[in-house]
Amino acid sequence: MIEISLKGRGGQGVVTAGEIMAKAAIVEGKYAQSIPFFGGERRGAPVSCEVRISDQPISLHRRVYNPDVVTVFDATLMDLLNPLTGIKEGGILLINTDNPRRYWNRTYYVDATGIARSLGLNIAGWAVVNTAMVGALSSVTKLVDIGTAEDVVKEEFPGKLGELNVEAMYLGFKEVRALD
């Protein structure tokens, strides 16, 4: 079983990203959970979502305390929340930033904000980075096939919005980089 902790701010699509990953895993015949966790529902407040993906049924029904992967949708949360608490030895950090720095041994980064803004994926000036982050997460972990994730995104966001989100996802998939 792989456990993922997604951290971001309200309005960035953290919960939706977790749901996309879980649905894609289920479509592929795996078992998955998406567990959102947030307080007051307001744009900009810290939000987290935890995802479990397994080839076997999942009997755990609690928060993730020792994730294999931590995905940070807003780099300012690194100093605010310490999202690496409990990460497993050898775990992966994926961070949305255009100014990468090493926070962890296995750090990956992608400018999901730049991708979202370039495609007009904004709500009230707030970049919605979820699908770019799903693409990067798919690339780094290989937990779900990008084609399966594309189908889920198209179902979640029909029409032109879906096409833009699929484009963001593929850009995130291609542009994610390991920090050497």
Q: Where are the domains of the chain?
A: 2-178
Q: What are phi and psi of 88, to 5 degrees?
A: -70, 145
Task: Report CA-CA distances (Å) from 43 to 2, 11, 87, 123, 131.
Answer: 29, 5, 27, 10, 18
pLDDT in tens, 73-120: 999 999 888 899 999 999 999 999 999 999 999 999 999 999 999 999
Tell me, what amino acid is at 169? M
Look at the domain 2-178 and name its fold. Pyruvate-ferredoxin Oxidoreductase; domain 3 (3.40.920)
pLDDT in tens, 2-31: 999 999 998 899 999 999 999 999 999 999
Beta strands 31-38 and 92-96, pairing class: unpaired
Q: What is the pLDDT of residue 78?
A: 93
> What is the pLDDT confidence band of residue 38, given thresholds at 50, 70 and 90?
confident
> What is the pLDDT confidence band of residue 44, given thresholds at 50, 70 and 90?
confident
The owner of tokens 């993906």 is: 53
Q: What are phi and psi of 96, to 5 degrees?
A: -85, 110
Is 126 within 8 Å of 12 (Cβ atoms)? yes
Q: What is the pLDDT of residue 125?
A: 78
CA 33 – CA 18 distance, rounded (Å): 9
Beta strands 107-110 and 31-38, pairing class: unpaired
Q: What are phi and psi of 107, to 5 degrees?
A: -105, 130
Q: What is the pLDDT of residue 154?
A: 96
Q: What is the pLDDT of residue 41?
A: 60
